[in-house]
Amino acid sequence: MGGAWIAAVLIGLSALYPVTWTIGAEPVVIKNVRITPKFETAGIIVESDAASVSLEILGPKGFQAAFPFVRFDQNHLATSLFGLQPDTEYTIRIAGTTVHRFRTEREFEMPRDEHVVRVDSMEKLQRAADAAEPGTTILVAPGIYRGQLVVRRSGAAGRPIVIRGEVKALSVPVWERKDLPVIDATKVDTGIQLDGVHHVVLDSLQVRNAVKHGVYLLRASHCVVQRMQIYDNGTWNLIVSKGGPTAGRHLIQDNHVADLDHGRFLFDYRGSSDVGARLFGETAWKGTSMELFHLATNTISSVLARAIRMLCREDLTEKSMFMTIKSSSSATTP
């Protein structure tokens, strides 16, 4: 795992703790300790010129060694903790001396519906999205919706705008569902685009056949994409891009991303200098810690088009586009 990669994935952390300790006979000044807990992971950065810094986590038998810090630039070292439990307090010890506590995040819960709008055509769906206010839930009836949906209205913390397929709750994997409403983006660039918005939830829809992108989160923040089928889109099935330091912080979970028509895999890093993370084919990312996104229990299978793209250029327009991948898996579509 390269130092530059760790630098990229652990930008934008919080909780700064100035501290000084000694390693051997050499006094080492630690200017900052930054901890960012997520659901099952926590990213940690320390600012130090020490050659090495240890990390321990408190368990039933006392402090146990965790993955040590790795230097990623002249002044900083970084590491991650994996296999944590959501909404749980943990205690860590750095360099055998300093103790810090943090709490992992709670699992996402859908809010109660405040104002419900039901739609059964693309025209009505777009009109409802254009008029939505915080707390609005748009229920999309089963059927095929041809064209592109662009969402330009934002929700609020605890009161998102929800666009959800009106389907029964079934205890089956998302890729086995046959009843999701379909956004068929044949001959248009993007199936669903969240454009400069925040606190929007996409839930229980299928998006397919776009010329470029299936689902595009552009300059967006605090959005949720869950229980979706995202299939057979030309370039990226799911792309997250731009927005500056306030963007990102999305949750992407329980989706099936696949190219069903092609039935073969692509794994290609060429030309990827501006890409923070790409999931291709049967690549399984489990317990990989990156910041400001959460990817959980998504299934990536049979992908010819690139599955997921997160831009992370080092300029202010895209530097915050990072993610946390939690317990993701891969599978071959029957």
Name the stretches of the chain with pLDDT < 70: 1-28, 243-246, 260-334
Model confidence pLDDT, tens digit, residues 14-60: 334 444 444 444 666 778 898 988 888 888 999 998 888 889 999 99
What's the confidence (pLDDT) of residue 27?
A: 60
Spatial neighbors of 176 by CB under 8 A, at least 6 apart, are none
Spatial neighbors of 60 by CB under 8 A, at least 6 apart, are none
What's the confidence (pLDDT) of residue 107?
A: 84
Amino acid at 209: N
Which neighbouring-strand residues pair with 230? 207, 257
Cβ contact 100:83 at 8 Å: no
What's the confidence (pLDDT) of residue 249?
A: 76
User: Whole-prediction pTM value?
Assistant: 0.68
What's the confidence (pLDDT) of residue 279?
A: 32
The burial class, CB within 10 Å (0-12 / 13-18 / 19+), for 312 is buried
What's the confidence (pLDDT) of residue 40?
A: 83
Please identify which residue in the block is written with the tokens 């579509």: 333
Amino acid at 174: V
Model confidence pLDDT, tens digit, residues 241-270: 776 666 777 888 888 888 765 432 233 322
